Amino acid sequence: MEIVYLKLINGDEIFAEYHGDHENTVLLSNVMIMEAISTPDETVKYLFMSRYSPYSILHSMSIDRSKIVFLSEATETVRKHYNMSVVYAIQVTDRKFQEGISEATSYIQMAINKIVHDDTVFEDQPLVVGPESQTKH
């Protein structure tokens, strides 16, 4: 499978498995976005990839060619990082993301039930969600 790098008109830099073109769109799967985090003193930056659309059950998408500034095959080093990032997303972050959403949903349901039943709003219980994500979207 060919791994490609795309720069989109909105500035996103994404990496994905390329499945060809259909009409005026590019067909992709396991789309990941490159993100950077810095140490608190900004001396070191780390690059990592995370899911481009973490809320979707689909791991494939098509992108209109007019939204793509640049498309190229990824380098060997980037392909290795991409492949490990996809494995990590499948084995760790997808599950943790879903657990975080489930916990937040339960909390919201509890809040709604409390408001509906006694018409009060509570402030004494913290919202518990999954691990913090560095994802910016």
Domain ranges of the chain: 2-118
Rg (CA), the chain: 19
- What pLDDT, on a 0 to 100 scale, did the predictor assign at position 119? 54
Provide the CATH number for the domain formed by 2-118 in this structure. 2.30.30.100
pTM above 0.85, yes or no: no
- What pLDDT, on a 0 to 100 scale, did the predictor assign at position 13? 92
Using DSSP bridges, classify how beta strands 2-8 and 13-22 pair: parallel, antiparallel or unpaired. antiparallel
| pLDDT tens digits in sequence order for the chain, 137 residues long | 899 999 999 999 999 999 999 999 999 999 999 888 787 888 777 778 888 876 666 778 999 999 999 999 999 999 999 998 888 887 776 666 667 667 777 777 777 777 666 555 555 555 555 555 555 54
Angle (CA) 131 133 136, round 5°: 160
- What pLDDT, on a 0 to 100 scale, did the predictor assign at position 126? 58
Closest by CA position to 89, among listed 43, 127, 56, 40 = 56
Determine the straight-line distance between the first and last CA of the chain, rounded to whole angstroms: 27
Give the span between the Cα atoms of 76 and 15, in whole angstroms: 13
- What pLDDT, on a 0 to 100 scale, did the predictor assign at position 129? 56
Is there a contact between 16 and 58 (Cβ–Cβ < 8 Å)?
A: no
Q: Which residues are paired to 49 by β-bridges?
A: 34
- What pLDDT, on a 0 to 100 scale, did the predictor assign at position 110? 77
Q: Which two tokens stand for residue 74?
A: 């990824």
